[in-house]
């Protein structure tokens, strides 16, 4: 059997750079090296593309010192990467790309557009699904059309901040404190805060605006944080559900990755009809955004009513040792190796479609 060349791309310029590197190691270690030749491409925080030799270099951080540049060529006749070293250029054909990139430039349709130009099959959602799912405001507009409940919200643009008092008045006329403030485009809860009063609202808006020019102010949903994994193409399947038990007031970046007291629970104690509604809603939302390959869809289950409330969709969910996506499928009997292969195969299926 002739091995295929798979390019795994990680790092990136987003605030989730470090998480991407950890996710990439898990993915790489679960790719069948009898079937694939691994080509590892790391993108530094400054946006420099480097060819990397091993996961050991990723884990140690040694990859930042690589002297070999390598970029994906947008020229569809190349269908691969250009390796630049010692003033020489080598072309390597790529059969499939696996972008393990979270957040801006990786999960928002940007690199997906590059793959489309290059004519390279790639893992995960396409340009449209990636861009609208990354942008929380546009996701909300789509989910509104599905009539699936989600948190009430007020959208704030950077230009609106010229008159902060007017912004505050609009929020207070629509929502009661406490409220959550979220950048429309940011991952791993970067730039997210909770405001209990007017002063905290203003501080939270200023923080969120550092991450994006569009910000959402949302009502506080008091409930359990429930997540569901989606796998597949035109006929996607939903996993069971998992629950996040955050050590902090909410599941922000620090609680997610730096606080050992945060826990995930697979198959939490939920009424069967609630779990089924989560799974059904997850598939409907995935299809509505034109999802493909994989996603994780997050909800709240309201404490008092058991109502299912949509939170957000992640088109390239984390693949770390504490990430919900692979754990939910492992609970269904699908190992990480099998899961990674299924995700890779979906890239070929989409190309064939």
Look up the CATH number of the domain holding residue 214: 3.30.1490.20
Q: Do both 214 and 234 map to the same domain?
A: no
pLDDT of 275 = 97
Q: Is it the case that residue 5 has pLDDT exceeding 50?
A: yes
Domain assignment present for 304: yes
- Selection from 236, 2, 339, 292 nearest residue 121 by Cα: 292
H or E element, residue 87: none
Q: Do both 185 and 143 map to the same domain?
A: no
pLDDT of 216 = 96
Query: What are the helix (H) ranges across 40-188?
Result: 55-60, 110-118, 127-134, 136-146, 164-174
Q: Do both 209 and 313 map to the same domain?
A: no
Q: Do both 227 and 346 map to the same domain?
A: yes
Q: Do both 113 and 141 map to the same domain?
A: no
Mean pLDDT, rounded, for 19-29: 96
Distance CA 68, CA 83 (A): 7
Q: How confident is the model at residue 85 (pLDDT cuts 50, 70, 90)?
A: confident
Q: Which residues are bridge partners to 296 per DSSP? A: 229, 314
CB neighbours of 346 closer than 8 A, spacing ≥ 6? 123, 231, 232, 233, 292, 293, 294
Mean pLDDT, rounded, for 15-39: 96
Task: Report the range of poorest mean pLDDT among 43-47, 105-109, 118-122, 326-330.
Answer: 105-109
- 163-212 pLDDT, tens digit each: 999 999 999 999 999 999 999 987 556 789 999 999 999 999 999 999 88
Domain assignment present for 339: yes
Domain assignment present for 289: yes
Q: Do both 254 and 323 map to the same domain?
A: yes
Q: How confident is the model at residue 261 (pLDDT cuts 50, 70, 90)?
A: low
pLDDT of 353 = 58
Domain assignment present for 177: yes
Q: What CATH number is associated with residue 295? A: 3.30.470.20
Q: Is it the case that residue 47 has pLDDT exceeding 50?
A: yes
Q: How confident is the model at residue 259 (pLDDT cuts 50, 70, 90)?
A: very low
Q: Which residues are bridge partners to 217 per DSSP? A: 154, 181
Domain of residue 182 covers 153-219
Distance CA 230, CA 236 (A): 6
Q: Do both 116 and 141 map to the same domain?
A: no
More confident residue, 246 or 26: 26
Could you give the number of structural domains in the chain?
A: 3
Q: How confident is the model at residue 257 (pLDDT cuts 50, 70, 90)?
A: very low
Mean pLDDT, rounded, for 218-247: 94
Domain assignment present for 141: yes
Distance CA 265, CA 126 (A): 30
Q: Do both 11 and 52 map to the same domain?
A: yes
H or E element, residue 208: helix 198-209
Domain assignment present for 101: yes
Q: How confident is the model at residue 34 (pLDDT cuts 50, 70, 90)?
A: very high
Give the distance from CA 162 to its chain's centroid.
31
Distance CA 75, CA 170 (A): 48
Q: Which two tokens stand for residue 267?
A: 């198959």
CB neighbours of 317 closer than 8 A, spacing ≥ 6? 229, 294, 295, 296, 323, 324, 325
Q: How confident is the model at residue 251 (pLDDT cuts 50, 70, 90)?
A: very low
Whether the CA torsion 18, 22, 23, 29 is positive or negative: it is positive
Residues 292 and 346 sit within 8 Å (Cβ to Cβ): yes
- 301-347 pLDDT, tens digit each: 999 999 999 999 999 999 988 899 999 999 999 999 999 999 999 99
Beta strands, E only, the chain: 4-11, 36-43, 49-52, 69-72, 80-85, 88-93, 96-100, 153-157, 179-183, 193-195, 214-219, 223-232, 237-245, 263-266, 293-302, 308-314
Q: How confident is the model at residue 249 (pLDDT cuts 50, 70, 90)?
A: low
Mean pLDDT, rounded, for 200-227: 95
Domain assignment present for 230: yes
Task: Report the range of poorest mean pLDDT among 55-59, 109-113, 156-160, 188-192.
Answer: 188-192
If one counts every other C-beta atom within 10 angstroms of the C-beta of residue 334, the result is 18
Domain assignment present for 127: no
β-pairing, 36-43 vs 4-11, is: parallel
Q: Do both 232 and 334 map to the same domain?
A: yes
What percent of the chain shows pLDDT beyond 90?
Answer: 86
Phi, psi of 144 (to 5 degrees): -55, -40
If you average pLDDT over every residue of the chain, what do you get?
93
Q: Do both 232 and 280 map to the same domain?
A: yes
């Amino acid at each position: 059997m002739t091995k295929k060349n798979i390019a795994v791309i990680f790092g990136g310029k987003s605030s989730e750079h470090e998480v991407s590197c950890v996710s990439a190691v898990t993915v790489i270690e679960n790719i069948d090296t009898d079937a694939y030749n691994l080509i590892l491409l790391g993108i530094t925080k400054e946006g420099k593309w480097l060819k990397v030799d091993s996961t050991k270099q990723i884990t140690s951080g040694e990859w930042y010192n690589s002297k070999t540049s390598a970029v994906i060529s947008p020229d569809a006749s190349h269908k691969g990467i250009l390796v630049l070293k010692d003033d020489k250029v080598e072309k390597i054909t790529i059969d499939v790309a696996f972008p393990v990139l979270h957040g801006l430039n990786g999960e928002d349709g940007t690199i997906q557009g590059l793959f489309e130009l290059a004519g390279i099959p790639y893992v995960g959602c396409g340009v449209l699904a990636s861009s609208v799912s990354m942008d929380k405001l546009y996701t909300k507009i789509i989910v509104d059309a599905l009539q699936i409940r989600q948190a009430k919200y007020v959208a704030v643009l950077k230009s609106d901040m010229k008159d902060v008092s007017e912004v505050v008045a609009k929020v207070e006329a629509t929502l009661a404190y406490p409220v959550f403030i979220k950048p429309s485009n940011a991952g791993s809860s970067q730039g997210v805060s909770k405001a209990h009063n007017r002063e905290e609202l203003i501080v939270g808006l200023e923080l969120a605006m550092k991450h994006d020019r569009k910000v959402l102010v949302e009502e506080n949903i008091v409930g359990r944080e429930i997540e569901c994994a989606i796998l597949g193409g035109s006929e996607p399947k939903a996993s069971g559900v998992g629950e996040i038990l955050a050590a902090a007031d909410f599941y922000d970046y620090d609680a997610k990755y730096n606080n050992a007291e945060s826990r995930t629970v697979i198959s939490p104690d939920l009424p069967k009809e609630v779990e089924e509604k989560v799974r059904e809603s997850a598939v409907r939302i995935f299809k509505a955004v034109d999802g493909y390959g994989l996603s994780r869809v997050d909800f709240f289950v309201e404490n008092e009513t058991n109502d299912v409330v949509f939170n957000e969709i992640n088109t390239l969910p984390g693949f770390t040792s504490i990430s919900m996506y692979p754990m939910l499928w492992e609970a269904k009997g699908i190992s990480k190796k099998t899961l990674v292969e299924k995700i890779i195969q979906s890239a070929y299926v989409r190309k064939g479609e």
